[in-house]
Structures are given as structure tokens and as C-alpha cells.
Structure 1
């Protein structure tokens, strides 16, 4: 009888939680396990904990109808969410893991193409467009809509049921994911934010120019309640890394500056915060990878990297780093030694065309250009850089926007010309 009662209790609990997928019950939402946001996680470390199957193989491909410029994300149910820049038709697709069929697709306003959708544990999605940020059900129905100034960057969870919206015009919002009410007072980091012109300065965001207040997604230290922005102050000669605290003050959550660090030449791309919360990484326009003390913003070290390329990186919890270089550049591993960075290995024979992803298994996944100018998903050893396996991307050209790993260890990549490739265990394909 006790066992039966326990089963009934578990079933009732599961039913209650399941109802949250459409926002019917007040339950705290959190980032979905797996690859739920830009950068794979709150800190933008592009690090994957799930084991990738040994029998990984191409499962399906799907065209998006237009160029892809942002990384895709994968939900707890391994559904793929990808945005694209299409002339007409859908520019945001949610694809089923089994065969790449569309669970749903949407036609959104401009700005959607620069975002990686944020997904919670109930497969609910949070993504924006010019003038608006929206919360969606798992089935693709709008739950709520919040007006914003400018275009949102890719959103992040900053606390249970609290989502960060940072816009290209320097607006900062913390919203309750249940009903979009403010979890903290609004902050405007620039006086020139223009509610009547959402696209003002948007073209500068592509090159991290001065008219774009926040050109890249934030990095978030969830435990310390601090976020880190690539921010260009109005009238400044260069962009900076700005740290903002968002914890409670006198019982009320507030967003307030902790410090800012002026980076010589300015910042390109998003910040990354280490897994232990002690270090913030950023790329400078002068070709340096910069490591800052997360507590103070003071420089720990710089590493002459050259062309910052995609100006993103992947980092392990123990300080191994693979920066993303220019298209066709080598695959290089660095180690953060605390007061300096050292090169561990450098694969000059590999022509990388993607942001890489380091894994808990001690390997790294990236996409490289092949001898016939095609593309291949490649796994290398994090210890010495030796190639472990290569999986072709049929008919792929150009570059890919990153390597996403699902909670089950499946891998998805999207080419810039507009095609999604999904890899799964051979044992699961066709089931």
C-alpha cells in the first residue's frame, strides 16, 4: 500500500509539473538542462557536461530558408530552436529531434535573427524582436509580451523565474517569467535610448560600434548574482566590460553597477565568466584575449591572440580555453595559469570555421574545412589536440555558428547559409 501511495504521489507531482509547460501553474522556471541559451549556459562558456555517444552519426538535416547568424539552442526534450534571416515565411523554427520536422515556426519582426532563443525546463521559450520581448508556451503560443527599447540580445536566466533582457540601446529589464512583471526596476544605461526608433544603432551592433549600447549577450554568474556586459557608454571612445549586480538591497532586487573595466581598443563579442566565478574573459579589438578579476575588474593577464574572429571562446571548469579565431584559422588550446595564459597545443593543419565546444569527457568538438572545401564536425582530444573522429556535413559550405550538445549528448550545428545538421546515436536513429 505504501508503494502504491508513493507511486500515486509521484504521478500527481509529475502531472502538476507537466501542466507548467503551458504556464498553468506557478512553478519556478530555470534554464533547461543541456544547451538552453547563447553560449550553452549562463556564463557563455560553451561547455558541455553530457556524454556524446560513441556511435554518433548524422540523423537528419533541415534547411531554414535563410542565412543563420546566431547559435542554435536545444531544449530538455532535444528539440532544436534556430533563428534565421529570411525574406519571407518563418524566421524562427523549433524542430523535432527525431526527424527535424517543425514542431512550430513563426514569422517574427527584424531582430529575431541575432538571437539564440532561451529555453526553460518545461520547453517554454523566451525570445525577442524589435520593440518586444516575448514568453512562449512549449507549443508555440504567446504567453506574454513586454515592450522594449531597441532589439533584445539573447536572454539569460539570472534567478529562478527571473529572465534578463538587455537591449541594443542599453535597456536592462529583469522580468518574472510567469507573467512578465518587473522583478527589479528598469535601468537605462544610455541617455540616447530611443523608444520611437527600435533599430537606431542596430547596424553598429554587427561590428560592436559606438551607436550600439549592448551588441552581445550578457554573461551571468547565477550564484553571485552578477552579470557582465560588453557595453559602449554614450560618447566614449571605446566599449568596456561592465559588471552589474542584481541581488536584493533592503529586501528589494535592484540592478546596480559593481565595476567597469576599460579594455584598450574596446571589446568585441560577448564576455565569458568562468565556472568558478573568479574570472571574466573578453576579446579586445587590438587582438588580445583579456582576463579580468570578476570581483574587481582588474586585469589578471592578457594574451596576444591576433584576429579575434568570432570573438567567443569555450572554457572548461579547470581553465582550459579554446578561443574562436578567424575563418580558416587554426584550432588552439590555452591554459589559464592564474597570472598568465599559456598555449597548450596548436593545430595549424585544421582550418576551423566554427566556435568550439569543450566537454566533460576531455574532448573538444568543432567544425573544420575539408580538403574539398566542404565542412566536417570534428572531435579532438583536449589534452593534446589529436583528432579522435570526423563526421562529414554533406553539401555544407561556409561556416557554422557553433556546436550545441543536447542533454542526451546529441549534437546540432547550423551553417550560415541556412541548414541545420543533427547528430544522434546510431542506436536511436530511425526508432
Structure 2
């Protein structure tokens, strides 16, 4: 009886400790790039580059519709679980298994979630925005928390201390606990705080206000792109303030219990066209604008080091592999620009390949993008040193354009079309 009593008491004590652990602030969930594709442009730098080995022979594993359009790149956990957002009725954030395409969960959140990126931690918890909130779900789709914000998060990233950085299209910046969703520092406003004393009738805009302009970096979308963040929690964000002639690139820092501005440079003509992307050494941030330029900026001073004209306005991410920049853009062709220090050089250009996606770079100079071939779309495997095509695989019956190219933990390549179909390719024939 004593032994049995001791066992019961021990189990009860363990249960109490377990329950107490649910409310602790201790966070042992890892974050970081890992071997999946945990952010829409792979990592906090927005580099579009993974250390996973590429393959010179890819083959289609499966394809399937998701039931609605897709606007953001697919993210992939290190165990191969896919995450995406759509606006398909009651199904707005969904997850699929990379080996089979089987749906793991499909949850209803706000319809504006289609415009919000997803980001995944080391335990396959997903973080995603919608109409006026940041949400977190575990790998089974069970809700973890929901925190109200003003607007729709167009940027989500992890800070060095494992919190979630959220920036909405209306310019609200928050740092949230991954465990509870609570704010870790006071909210910052990139457009300044509203003056309710001078304007007592001022009302809060609708959560989705200006979202339509985010696709092209238009003036009604203050923050149109993802942020790039370094190991010191310095992050870079594009901001177009109302009434200003051009958009700005700003350097911000999360430190000492607050979010503060380091510098702001207003040079993005006709608005920002790409997300900022950081060099590996953190000394240069690259960005594109709607005047068809790539711009290299000193991260300490905010001063441009060089500008490189393109024949089209870049869109979405810029893949940054060593000193090589590979821009995306459905109006352009596959090309690479080399950062030569005080100027840029064209490394190579493939004017025969009209891009319909975004480049993703694997190890061993192997990269992938989607191009228009005839009336259809093909996954193009190419060599980053020369631009030469290594492999070409059709996306059966695919039309239009794609939202991004993501590389899985075993070298799989996942592509989502804007009309709402997933294609997964695997190494080997």
C-alpha cells in the first residue's frame, strides 16, 4: 500500500509539474533556417538559399489543387510538412505532407491570410497573420494562441531570442512570444502614432486596407514586403509613407526592451518592388524598386553603394548566393547580377527563359525556378555559375505564374501556382 501510495503521489506531482510547465516562460523550441524552408524566402536574411544539396535530375512526385488561389510561397518544416495560405472558404491555412500530398489539416481564419506569409519553428508550429491578428497553430492544426494587431501581417520573422517579429501592411511592428503570443516590447508604428486629440473622430482603418497595392509595392500599402533580419536583431523594412514621393528603406533594431529606428533612406522610386535581402556578412542589404533597379545599400549608413538597371521591375525575393544576386519577376527573364563592391556586373543572362516564379538556390551551385516553355510551365534546374539549364520538368497542365520555389529537407522542390495548385518534385528519375 505504501509503495502504491508513493507511485500515485509521484504521478500526481509529475502531473502538477507538467501543468505548471504549460504556463512557463521558458522556451526550448528551436528556431532558425534548419534543413526545411521555414520562411517564405528560406531564412531571416531572405536569402533564398539553403545548404541542402540540389539535384541535376528532378521528377514530379505529385500534384494537387488546394481549393483556392495561393499568393505566398509555400513553407516547409524540417520533417517535410508543408504550410500555405489561401482564401478557399472555410479553409484558409492548410498543411500537407511532402511525401504524399495528403492534407494534414485545414483551418478557418480570416480571408486576408492569403496575403500573409507563414513561418515555422523547429517543432513545426506555424505562425501566420490574417485580418487583424497573428495566429499560431501546432503541427496538427490545433490553435496555440491569437494576438490582435492593426492590419494584416505582411512580414513575419524570428528574432535571435526566439520571438516572432510581426509587421503589418499598415506599419504596426510587434514582437510576440512564441509560447503565448504576448507582446514582449511596446508596439511600434512605422507611420507614427495616431493623434486622437487633434482628430477625435479618427477611426481605425479596415484590417485589409491597402492590401491590393502590396503586390506591386503601391502607395496605399505602407509595408508591402517581408523584412530581412540579422543575428543582432537589426531588421530592414520598406515603408511608403502617405504623401511621400518615394518609398524608403529603413533599418530598425529590436533591443533593450523596444523597437527603434536606426536610419531611413528614401530612394525607392515608384515604391518597393522586392523584399530586402541581406548579404551573408550582413554588410549589404539589397532591394529593388519599380523604376527597374536593383540597389545595394550599406547596412551601417543606409547609403546606396551601387544601382543596377534591369529591363523589368523585379518582384518578390532576390536570391543572394555569395556575391551573386538572382532577381525574380514575371515580366523578366532569368539573369544573375554580381556584386563587385562599388558596382554591379551582369554575370549571365538567359533571355530565352521567361520567369514565372522565384529562384531558390541549393548547395553545389544548383538552383531552381519556373519558366514559361511554350504554352505551359516548367521547373528549370540551372547552374548558378553559368546560368545553363541542367534539367527541365513540366508542371502538367499548369498555367499562369507561381508564387515561389521552396526546397525541402531531402532536396524536394515545391512550387505553388497562383490559381491554387501544388507541384512537388523529388531528386532522381
For residue 403 of structure 2, the aligned residue among 401, 408, 420 is 401
CA RMSD of aligned residues (A): 2.2
8 Å Cα contact 1:32-1:123 kept in structure 2: no
Query: Aligned pair in 2 of structure 1 residues 25, 122: CA closer, same or farther (>3 Å)?
Result: farther
Partner of 1:163: 164
Residue 319 of structure 1 pairs with residue 323 of structure 2: yes
Instruction: Tell me, in whole angstroms, the C-alpha distance in 1 between the residues paired with 2:309 and 2:66.
Output: 37
2:388 to 373, 386, 410: 386
Matched, 1:58 2:66: no
Partner of 1:203: 212
Q: How many residues align?
A: 399
Which residue is equivalent to 2:16? Answer: none
Distance 1:306 1:259 in 2: 30
- Structure 1 alignment gaps of length 5 or more: 1-19
1:330 is matched with 333
How far apart in 2 are the matches of 1:137 and 1:311? 27
**Mapped contact 1:272–1:282 kept (Cα < 8 A):** yes
Instruction: Measure how far apart 1:386 and its partner are.
Output: 1.3
Structure showing greater radius of gyration is 2
Kindly indicate whether the alpha-carbon contact (under 8 Å) linking 2:371 and 2:380 is maintained by their aligned counterparts in 1: yes
**C-alpha separation between the residues in 2 aligned to 1:306 and 1:21?**
54
- Structure 2: gaps of 5 or more residues: 1-20, 195-202
Name the CA distance, whole Å, in 2 between partners of 1:158 and 1:242: 17
- 2:79 corresponds to which of 54, 69, 77: 77
Task: Report how far residue 231 of structure 1 moved.
Answer: 0.6
Secondary structure of the 2:110 match is coil
What is the distance in 2 between the residues matched to 1:21 and 1:349? 56
Q: 1:217 aligns with which of 212, 226, 235?
A: 226
CA distance 1:185–1:89, shift in 2 (3 Å): closer
Q: After superposition, where does 1:253-272 map in structure 2 within 5 Å?
A: 253-265=257-269, 266-272=271-277
Task: Give the deviation of 1:216 after TM superposition.
Answer: 1.2
Question: Out of 301, 305, 325, which is 1:300 matched to?
Answer: 305
- The 8 Å contact of residues 351 and 368 in structure 1, kept in 2 or not, is answered as yes
**Closer, same or farther in 2 for the Cα pair 1:98/1:21, shift >3 Å?**
farther
Query: What is aligned with 2:364?
Result: 361
**Contact kept? 2:82, 2:98, Cα under 8 Å:** yes
Deviations 1:320-355 (A, max 9, x none): 11111333x321111101111100111111122111
CA–CA distance in structure 2, aligned partners of residues 382 and 196 of structure 1: 45
TM-score w.r.t. length of structure 1: 0.88
Distance 2:42 2:353 in 1: 24
Q: Corresponding residue for 1:231? A: 239
Shift, 1:110, TM fit = 2.3
Matched, 1:287 2:292: yes
Does structure 2 conserve the Cα–Cα contact (< 8 Å) formed by 1:32 and 1:76? no
Distance 1:29 1:377, change over 3 A: same
TM-score, normalization: structure 2? 0.88
What is the distance in 2 between the residues matched to 1:23 and 1:78?
Answer: 29
Cross-structure match for 2:9 = none
Counterpart contact for 1:366–1:403, Cα < 8 Å: yes
